[in-house]
């Protein structure tokens, strides 16, 4: 996750404007805007001040795996480019990342709320995947993944295409069924 994405996620989680965060962090609104849009590489001090101003801390996690927020951003860009296959590959990568980690590290990979992908279906699928892995280990599920905005009104089959089969409802994991995202449990067994 880039510094700009991290700061934007922290700011939005506290419902702060750039101006309000700037006052708290002693950074100008224009500086924050440049950082959030990726047009300026901030110093470590600026990142730390911005995060503290939003009531967040920078924490090192012993993993090099991409978190849910970074993969959601990749999915958003893939969808904008019309690359549904790439979006699906990144989703499977998030699944593999969460399967490979446990405990606090697994939770840390899910704590930052991903920005919307531009697709309600993919947003619901990401939330379902995060909840699926955290519930399996008895870990708390972040509020963003429980939000009703991350559930669908009508069922959607993950990776829907001309050769995609709708899975048997008995084979859809509960966190996916709850959000009306249809995926066969075997799809999540990849490694």
The rounded distance, in Å, linking the Cα atoms of 28 and 63 is 33
Cβ atoms 68, 109 nearer than 8 A: yes
The rounded distance, in Å, linking the Cα atoms of 14 and 9 is 9
Task: Render pLDDT for 13-27 as a digit per residue (tens, 0 to 9).
Answer: 888 999 999 999 999
User: 182 pairs with which residues across the strands?
Assistant: 157
The rounded distance, in Å, linking the Cα atoms of 96 and 83 is 20
Please tell me the predicted confidence (pLDDT) of residue 159.
Answer: 79
Mean predicted lDDT score pLDDT of the chain: 92
pLDDT of 190 strictly over 70: no
In three-state secondary structure terms, 154 is: coil
Give residue limits of the domains in the chain. 3-53, 68-189
Please tell me the predicted confidence (pLDDT) of residue 189.
Answer: 86
The rounded distance, in Å, linking the Cα atoms of 136 and 118 is 28
Question: 15: which residues sit within 8 A by CB, 6+ positions away?
Answer: none
pLDDT of 191 strictly over 60: no
pLDDT of 6 strictly over 90: no
Percentage with pLDDT > 70 across the chain = 96
CATH class of domain segment(s) 3-53: mainly alpha
Task: Render pLDDT for 43-68 as a digit per residue (tens, 0 to 9).
Answer: 999 999 999 999 988 877 788 899 99
The rounded distance, in Å, linking the Cα atoms of 64 and 61 is 8
Average pLDDT of 103-121? 93
Q: Give which of 143, 144, 164, 166 is closest to 154, Cα–Cα.
A: 166
Tokens matching residue 97: 């990342």
69: phi then psi, degrees, rounded to nearest 5: -65, -40
């Amino acid at each position: 996750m880039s510094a700009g994405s991290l700061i934007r996620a922290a700011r939005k989680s506290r419902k702060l404007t750039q101006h309000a965060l700037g006052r708290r962090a002693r950074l100008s609104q224009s500086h924050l805007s440049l950082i959030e849009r990726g047009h300026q590489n901030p110093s470590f001090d600026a990142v730390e001040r911005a995060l503290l101003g939003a009531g967040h801390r920078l924490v090192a996690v012993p993993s090099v795996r991409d978190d849910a927020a970074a993969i959601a951003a990749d999915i958003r860009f893939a969808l904008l480019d019309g690359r549904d296959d790439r979006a699906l590959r990144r989703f499977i990568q998030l699944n593999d990342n969460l399967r490979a980690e446990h405990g606090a590290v697994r939770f840390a990979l899910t704590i930052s709320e991903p920005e919307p992908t531009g697709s309600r279906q993919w947003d619901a699928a990401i939330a379902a995947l995060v909840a699926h892995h955290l519930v399996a280990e008895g870990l708390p599920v972040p509020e963003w993944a429980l939000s009703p905005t991350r559930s669908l009104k009508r069922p959607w089959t993950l990776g829907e295409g001309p050769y995609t089969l709708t899975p048997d409802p008995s084979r859809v994991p509960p966190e996916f069924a709850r959000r009306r995202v249809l995926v066969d449990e075997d799809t999540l067994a990849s490694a």
